[in-house]
Amino acid sequence: MDLGVMDILEPSVFEVRCFRIVVGVRLPLCMGPGRTCGLGEEEQKNSKKMGELPLNINIRDPRWDQSTFVGRAKHFFTVTNPLNLLLSDARLKTVQTIVENYRAGIVAPGMTEDELWKAKYEYDSAFHPDTGEKVYLIGRMSAQVPMNMIISGCMLTFHKNIAAVIFWQWVNQSFNAVVNYSNRSGDATVTEKQLATAYLSATTGAVVTAVGLKSLTKHLPSLVSRFIPFTAVAAANCINIPLMRQREMVVGIPVTDEAGYKLGYSTKAAQLGIFQVVTSRIGMLIPPLTIIPLLMNVLEKKDFLKRRPWLLGPLQVGLVGFCLLFSTPLCCALFPQKSSISVNRLEPELRAKIKKQSPNMEVVYFNKGL
């Protein structure tokens, strides 16, 4: 029987010790974000006998080791799972309650560790990690594969028509604007003017790049023109993401110690985070927008598709989706979500402040965004 009692003892900026009472047994709760704490042998036995889920599971961080690429890949395969888009509002409200209650020391009766992790990842798929706000449906990472599958597939299918090129580049940048805003780092607010500037600049850059390259390559083999969508998208990402997150480069993003205690705001960390996101975004589009054009250039010459040209579009979209199922999580995993930066690379004022508080601290951490 869980009496739902939680006492806060010895509070400080670095550590809060929490306990709950379960039929007379005091079980320690995780001490702050990013930390875990161990249960005593006797407490573990008592908890196990009663079937209670222990409170030392750190669900603030991913389930798998984020210091390795494999661990990050497992994490992002779960985060980008398109099936998360099918979660109802009622289910999202349920998992939000489960996660918030667990962090507060309250466990639903009979819940298993696997069920807790499932709830945590469903919660993460729909809520911003820093602000806790629910993310727009198409702005969630689980929407990356289906949305990019349709957009990229259509850009490749209609690459010969100039009007279609302009239209799909506009659609792509509209989608990117929502994604970049929804997955910005920290709790930075973005004004309507900044949103409009980033959106118009990226859309203009993508369209100008696509149209310009199309005119330059019209006398070259048709295979060359198939790579125009990738070039345009890559150029637009280099414009869109920095502009959408420009406020972070002005005021900085939160940097913390390993335990999650906020140390200040850093523009250097923001610049590094934006660079990592741009690299990942371009990387995830390399397979669908470079391999598929080469493959389609061969398949289109086959008699089967010559007799059934209506299959070209659906086939191209399907192949793009297959590539994205793997390239999206794998490229997101190139860099840790909780990225790090050397204290020596921070701004002089922040570096001095950190060195004064913790002379031995060499690395600080930040959310790079997605």
Low-confidence ranges of the chain (pLDDT < 70): 1-52, 130, 183-191
Residue 332 CB burial class (10 angstroms; 0-12, 13-18, ≥19): buried
Give me the DSSP letters along 235-246: HHHHHHHHHHTH
Residue 25 burial (CB count, 10 A): 17
Q: Which residues contact 201 (CB under 8 A, 6 or more apart)?
A: 239, 240, 243
- Cα separation of 189 and 181, whole Å? 9
Among residues 354, 125, 187, which one has the least CA distance to residue 257? 354
Q: What is the pTM of this model?
A: 0.70
pLDDT of res. 4: 42
What are the Cα distances from residue 357, in Å, to 14, 33, 350, 354?
A: 12, 19, 11, 5
- Cα separation of 351 and 285, whole Å? 37
Evaluated on CA atoms 48, 50, 55, 61, the torsion sign reads: positive
